[in-house]
């Protein structure tokens, strides 16, 4: 009876102590010679195989000659065949193989008793990822992504009338031991609400009028920032970060007229989550020089690592990073650019930063659009160069392709920018279409965002129904195509290794650009890839099951890239490609499935845009 079984490998790491004992009781060890068939097509499997040594190749397709997978040490197969009652493929020992054999009856019992084990064993990509997330259910209340606003400590709402004087409000602060009140003006229809806090007392004193004669309604803020009690605490944190506020009103439900349940203060939220992103926000806002911003930029990297280790969903990390980076860039621009330039321009970011999908720092992709008729300062070029250099000092390398506002091609007046966009569309070249693709992902971070939105609207207005241009635009998904090279690397594990896998080239880029192409063709104006996928599915342009799998695949790519990138940084190395041999068996398996989803998207795009004719 073998006891050296590794219960740290998936899917066995989710078993209870009793279930692990069942596994030990049901195990046997078998040896197979090179070329020996472990499982033949149509055979009724009696065991789940878990490899100890050697590699097994899986063949399917007509004639059984299509090599679709390679399994190595700690990989298991074929759970689906056990459930179906017969094998669909042929499993052959590529070399001497030593494997555990887990009896079918034991596997059936585990499937019935442990839903996570069942999902990880034979479910599709979405269910496997959901099962992985469910593993941390014992930490739900501390989870950044799962805890709801209503679960955190809400402060009571104290209301005062708009005509109450400041002295009365301060007395309320003292009696109720609070530092803010909700100001209600019953004279308006519907009643107008505002917020007055202890930080507003300074304005009241500087007003000059006697405080017992100054109505609080004159100084209350009418820009109420609200969240729903059903929102996640992480969403509330992002709202606070975006609006640069320390507290939000909490409503019942998601409707604007929902009843106000209380106030969520940043300190209560952060004591619940033990997360310190507010310190970064404050450091950015209070920075008086670029050196202070550089320190804040380093803190963002540390926060990303903290959130990743804590199990926060990668999409939520990316959203928070987008908000923090936007504030970092905006403050840097404020310190570098004169006020009139900031008021008459829009600074924007593009690429993964624009889509809200950036995690670890990547190359700069930014631009500047100037208000038409505005005469920029003579030293505009030097100002833009200082900004690019500042971002470089923060850890964002300069773009090798020069897609930065420090280059003249990416800073124009509104009309000239619009003309350039039209040229990219009407006289398409590989470079111009890629510039267009990058621009479509633009997101405003400082200045007048209306200037950018007008340019984005120009793109959608010019696209029309030009199938030839759209086909050439979408064909960029083949820019990094190397036949089945990436698939062969996965299949050839254990055969001497090879170069690192560039996950962007083989996975995330074709997915992101393919969805970007469909979004442009169908006038979907969302910027983020997930939002685009959801809109395309709602409009019937993507099958719902494929849409779900694409979102899961995107997040898997982002999470895998983050995990391996952080591991390389800890070793003093720059983030780079992925060594397949270093991945866990589960990560390798999920990678195969996610890349398979990308292959399915490619097939859809080839049919939709007739890419075989490009």
Which two structure tokens, joined as six digits, stand for 199? 């930080």
Poorest-pLDDT segment among 145-154, 441-450, 480-489? 480-489
Contact call for residues 414 and 371 (beta carbons, < 8 A): yes
| CATH fold label, 473-613 | 1.20.120
Pinpoint the residues of the chain covered by CATH 1.20.120: 473-613
User: What is the predicted pLDDT for the residue at 472?
Assistant: 86
Structure-token pair, residue 194 = 């505002």
Q: What's the gap between Cα 364 and its chain centre?
A: 18
pLDDT at 251 over 50: yes
**Residue 315: its pLDDT value, please?**
86
| SS3 assignment, position 370 | strand
Calculate mean pLDDT across residues 357-383.
Answer: 92
Query: Angle 484-490-492 (CA atoms, 0-180°, nearest 5)?
Result: 95
Return the H-helix or E-strand segment holding 368.
Answer: strand 366-370
Q: What percent of the chain has pLDDT over 70?
A: 87
- Residue 136 reports pLDDT greater than 70: no
If 0-12 CB within 10 Å is exposed, 13-18 middle and 19+ buried, where does residue 102 land? buried
Burial of 513 (0-12, 13-18, 19+ CB in 10 A): buried
pLDDT over 80 at 340, yes or no: yes
Spatial strand order in the sheet of 247-251 = 226-228, 247-251, 260-265
pLDDT of residue 78: 85
Contact call for residues 229 and 206 (beta carbons, < 8 A):
no
- Comparing 41-55, 56-70, 167-181, 587-601, the range with the smallest average pLDDT is 56-70
Question: What's the token pair of residue 575?
Answer: 């983030």
Encoded tokens for 326: 């936007």
247-251/226-228 β-pairing: parallel
Check residues 160 and 492 and name the one with the higher pLDDT.
Answer: 160
In sign, the C-alpha dihedral spanning 497, 503, 505, 510 is positive
**Domain(s) of CATH 2.60.120.10: residues in the chain:** 12-123
What confidence score (pLDDT) does residue 155 get?
Answer: 79
Report the pLDDT averaged over residues 605-613: 84
Lowest mean pLDDT among 308-322, 534-548, 594-608: 308-322
Dump pLDDT digits (tens) for 375-418. Answer: 999 999 999 999 999 999 999 999 888 999 999 999 999 999 99
- The set of residues, in sequence order, having a beta carbon less than 8 Å from that of 12 and lying 6+ positions away, is 5, 6, 20, 23, 117
Q: How much is the pLDDT for 68?
A: 73
In sequence order, the 6+-apart residues with CB closer than 8 A to the CB of 257 are: none
| Bridge partners for 482 per DSSP | 484
Cis preceding linkage at 89, omega within 30: no
Evaluate if residue 600 carries a pLDDT over 70.
yes
The token pair that represents 10 in the structure block: 């998936």
pLDDT at 189 over 50: yes
Contact by Cβ (8 Å): 200, 221: yes
Q: Which CATH superfamily is domain 149-273 in?
A: CBS-domain (3.10.580.10)
Provide the pLDDT for residue 80.
78
- Any idea which of 133-142, 493-502, 592-601 has the lowest mean pLDDT? 133-142
- Which residues, 6+ apart, have CB-to-CB distance to 572 below 8 Å? none
What's 139's DSSP letter? G
Is pLDDT above 50 for 137? Answer: no
Longest dimension (CA), the chain: 95
Beta bridge partners of 97: 32
Contact 286, 331 (CB under 8 A): no
614 confidence band (pLDDT: 50, 70, 90): low
Could you tell me where in the chain the CATH 3.10.580.10 domains are found? 149-273
Cα torsion 247, 253, 256, 259: sign? negative
Contact of 445 with 347, CB cutoff 8 Å:
yes
Q: Residue 215 pLDDT more than 80?
A: yes
6 pLDDT above the threshold of 90: no
- Mean of per-residue pLDDT scores for the chain: 84
Q: What is the CATH number of domain 277-463?
A: 3.30.460.10
Question: Residues with Cβ < 8 Å from 71, sequence gap 6 or more?
Answer: 51, 55, 56, 57, 58, 77, 91
What's the pLDDT band for 350 if we cut at 50, 70, 90? very high
Least-confidence region, from 124-128, 197-201, 307-311, 596-600: 124-128
User: 12-123 maps to which CATH number?
Assistant: 2.60.120.10
């Amino acid at each position: 009876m073998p006891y050296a079984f590794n219960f740290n490998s998936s899917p066995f790491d989710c078993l209870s102590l009793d279930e692990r004992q069942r596994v030990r009781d049901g195990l046997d060890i078998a040896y197979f010679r090179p070329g020996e068939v472990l499982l033949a097509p149509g055979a009724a499997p009696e065991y789940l195989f878990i490899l100890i040594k050697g590699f097994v190749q899986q063949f399917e397709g007509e004639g059984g000659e299509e090599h679709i997978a390679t399994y190595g040490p700690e990989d298991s197969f074929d759970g689906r065949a056990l459930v179906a009652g017969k094998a669909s493929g042929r499993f052959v020992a590529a070399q001497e193989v030593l494997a555990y054999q887990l009896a079918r009856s034991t596997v059936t019992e585990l499937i019935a008793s442990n839903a996570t084990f069942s999902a990880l064993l034979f479910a599709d990509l979405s269910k496997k990822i959901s099962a992985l997330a469910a593993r941390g259910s014992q930490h739900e209340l501390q989870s950044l992504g799962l805890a709801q606003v209503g679960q955190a400590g809400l402060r009571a709402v104290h209301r005062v009338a708009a005509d109450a004087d400041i002295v009365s409000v301060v007395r309320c602060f003292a009696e109720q031991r609070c530092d803010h009140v909700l100001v209600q003006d019953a004279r308006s229809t519907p009643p107008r609400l505002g917020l007055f806090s202890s930080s507003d007392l300074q304005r009241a004193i500087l007003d000059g009028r006697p405080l017992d004669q100054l109505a609080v309604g004159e100084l209350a803020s009418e820009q109420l920032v609200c969240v729903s009690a059903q929102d996640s605490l992480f969403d509330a944190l992002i709202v606070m970060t975006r609006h640069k506020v320390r507290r939000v009103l909490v409503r019942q439900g998601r409707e604007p007229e929902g009843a106000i349940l209380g106030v969520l203060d940043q300190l209560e939220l952060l004591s619940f989550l033990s997360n310190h992103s507010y310190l970064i926000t404050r450091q950015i806002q209070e920075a008086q020089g670029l050196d202070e911003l550089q320190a804040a930029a380093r803190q963002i990297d540390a926060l990303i690592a903290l959130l990743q280790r804590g199990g926060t969903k990668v999409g939520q990390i990316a959203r928070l990073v987008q908000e923090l980076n936007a504030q970092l860039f905006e403050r840097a621009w404020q310190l570098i650019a004169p006020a009139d330039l900031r008021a008459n321009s829009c600074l924007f970011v593009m690429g993964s930063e624009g889509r809200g999908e950036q995690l670890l720092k990547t190359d700069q992709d930014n631009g500047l659009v100037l208000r038409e008729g505005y005469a920029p300062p003579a030293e505009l070029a030097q100002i833009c160069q200082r900004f690019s250099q500042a971002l470089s000092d923060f850890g964002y390398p300069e773009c090798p392709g020069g897609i930065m506002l420090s280059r003249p091609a990416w800073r124009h007046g509104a009309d000239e920018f619009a003309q350039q966009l039209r040229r990219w569309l009407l006289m398409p070249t590989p470079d111009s279409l890629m510039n267009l693709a990058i621009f479509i992902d633009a997101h405003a971070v400082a200045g007048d965002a209306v200037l950018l939105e007008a340019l984005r609207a120009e793109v959608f207005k010019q696209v029309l129904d030009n199938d030839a241009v759209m086909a050439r635009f979408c064909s960029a998904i083949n820019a990094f195509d190397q036949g089945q090279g990436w698939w062969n690397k996965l299949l050839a594990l254990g055969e001497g290794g090879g170069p690192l896998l560039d996950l962007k080239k083989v996975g995330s880029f074709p997915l992101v650009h393919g969805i970007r192409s469909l979004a442009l063709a169908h006038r979907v104006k969302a910027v983020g890839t997930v939002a685009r996928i959801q809109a395309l599915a709602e409009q019937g342009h993507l099958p719902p099951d494929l849409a779900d799998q694409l979102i899961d695949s995107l997040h898997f790519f982002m999470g895998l890239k983050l995990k391996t990138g952080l591991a390389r940084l800890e070793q003093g190395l720059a983030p780079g490609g992925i060594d397949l041999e270093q991945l866990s068996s589960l990560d390798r398996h999920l990678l195969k499935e996610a890349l398979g989803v990308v292959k399915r998207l490619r097939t859809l795009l080839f049919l939709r845009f007739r890419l075989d004719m490009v």
